[in-house]
Amino acid sequence: MKPFRIAVFASGSGSNFQAIADAVQTGKLDVEVGLLVCDKPEAPVVRRAEAAGVETFAFRPKQYASKQAYETEIVRLLQEKQIDLVVLAGYMRIVSGTLLEPYEGRIVNIHPSLLPSFPGLDAIGQALAHGVKVTGVTVHFVDGGMDTGPIIAQRPVEVAEDDTADTLAAKIHRIEHELYPFVIRGIASGNVSLAEDGRRVLWK
C-alpha cells in the first residue's frame, strides 16, 4: 500500500518539524515525510531536514516574479512527490489560491493560541498582553483567511503569573510537539472529516 505522504512547510527553528520527524523515526507516526518546504534557506529547519534525510525545497521568494510563481513551483513538487497532506509548521507566509485550490481540505496549520483568540503574529505575546489565564494550541485546516479555518484539535495551556514570553512559549511548544503528530496520525488513518456544515471537524 502506498504510504501516506506529507510535506512540512516551515520558516524558522523547526522544532515541530523535528517532533514530526522523530515520531516517524520511532514508529509512532506511520507516514512518510516526503518534502520540507522552506522560504528561508538559512533557517535551522533546513539543517534538521538534512539530518533527518528529508528532501528539501528551500527557496528565496524574492527570486520569483510573484507568490503565484513560487507556489506554482511548490505545487509541481507536491504533485511529483504524491504528497497527500501539507503540514504548515511555523511557515510565515500566507498561502494563496495557487496552492489552496489544488490542496483544498488537505492543508493544516498549527497555531500557538486557542483560536479564534489571538490569530496572526505573536499569539503568545498577544495572550500575555491580554492577561488571559489559559491559552493553548490549535491545529486547523487552512482556508483563505488568517488562522480562520475549521478547527481539528485544541489543547489548553495555563498561564502562570510569572510566565514570560519564553517560559510560556516553552510550555506551548511541549504541547505542540505532542498534538501535531497526534493530529497527523488521525488524518492519515482517515479518522478526521469535515461535517456537512463545512465548519465542524468530526473525529472517528
Per CB under 6 A, residues contacting ligand GRF are 10, 12-16, 89-90, 110-112, 176
Report DSSP letters for 170-202, one per residue: HHHHHHHHHHHHHHHHHHHTT-EEE-TTSS-EE
Nearer to ligand GRF, 111 or 171 (CB): 111
Active site annotation includes 130: no
CA distances from 129 to 90, 146, 162 (A): 21, 20, 13
Least Å distance, CB 180 to ligand GRF, is 9
Cα end-to-end span (Å), the chain:
22
- Report helix, strand or coil for 139: strand
CA distances from 153 to 80, 86, 111, 177, 181 (A): 30, 17, 11, 13, 12
Alpha carbons 124 and 129: distance in angstroms, whole number: 9
Least Å distance, CB 43 to ligand GRF, is 8
Least Å distance, CB 190 to ligand GRF, is 25
Nearer to ligand GRF, 83 or 89 (CB): 89
Nearer to ligand GRF, 80 or 122 (CB): 122
Least Å distance, CB 120 to ligand GRF, is 11
Cell digits of residue 14: 523547526
Report DSSP letters for 36-61, one per residue: EEES-TTSHHHHHHHHTT--EEE--G
Nearer to ligand GRF, 16 or 135 (CB): 16
Q: Which one of the listed residues 111, 130, 173, 177 is annotated catalytic?
A: 111
Catalytic residue list: 111
